[in-house]
Amino acid sequence: MSSTSVPHAAGSTQLSVATLVMAFIAGFLAVPVFHQIMFLILHLAGIIPVPPFNMAPTKPFGVPVVISQSFWGGVWGIVFVLTLPRWFRGAAYWAASLILGGVALTLVYMFVVVPLKTGGLPGAMGPLFVIGFLVNAAWGIGWALFLALFQRLRGAAA
């Protein structure tokens, strides 16, 4: 995989269903492999008191938290493949995957998810943003790596 690999449909106005599916799977897998591993590192460092890979059931369907997070990682994977390749190429694409993963996902968590779950904004926004940025940036680069791998494998199979 070269440093300039981006989704095959970069810049086009239409993406294939296969690319969208690969983006979802890449986002789904990036949660347990990258997001939760960064979470584990921060937990082992004593920065996050809660351990990763939370298997507690979550609302509304009672699926484990990590599965719910992985599903939403897949949804974000589709959002990213629909947007990032249109604006970024080469090294900028990889940097955008990391930075926008860290910023966008963290801001949505802080200003949408937390208020929906608690009815208010989170306290200690600075530390929450830094921790969120780290775990979500890990997801972003993981998503880009998985997507590039899947596209390479798909190209080799064609």
**Residue listed under structure tokens 């106005």:** 13
**Quick one: pLDDT at residue 158?**
61
User: How many other CB atoms are there within 10 angstroms of residue 93's CB atom?
Assistant: 21
Which residues lie across from 64 on neighbouring strands? Answer: 57
Structural domain that includes position 24: 17-157
- Torsion, CA 41, CA 117, CA 142, CA 34, rounded to 10: 20
Q: State pLDDT tens for residues 57-112.
A: 998 899 999 999 999 999 999 999 999 999 999 999 999 999 999 999 999 999 99
**Both tokens assigned to 73:** 């990682």
In a domain, 12, yes or no: no
Q: Number of structural domains, the chain?
A: 1
Determine the pLDDT at residue 121. Answer: 87
User: What is the DSSP pairing of strand 57-58 with strand 63-64?
Assistant: antiparallel
Q: Which residues pair with 57 in a beta bridge?
A: 64
Residue 131 lies in a domain: yes
Residues 6+ apart with CB under 8 A from 152: 1, 5
**7 occurs within a structural domain:** no
Q: Specify if 3 maps to a domain.
A: no
Q: Which pLDDT band holds residue 117 (cuts at 50, 70, 90)?
A: confident
**How far is 110 from 120, CA to CA, in rounded Å?**
10
Instruction: Give residue for tokens 């890979």.
Output: 53
- Residue 2, pLDDT > 60, answer no
CA distances from 151 to 63, 64, 143, 146, 154 (A): 30, 29, 12, 9, 5
Q: What percent of the chain has pLDDT over 70?
A: 91
Residue 149 has pLDDT above 60, yes or no: yes
Question: CA Rg, the chain, in Å?
Answer: 16
Cα 142 to Cα 25: distance, rounded to the nearest angstrom: 11
Residue 8 domain flag: no
What is the full DSSP assignment across 13-30?
A: S---HHHHHHHHHHHHHH
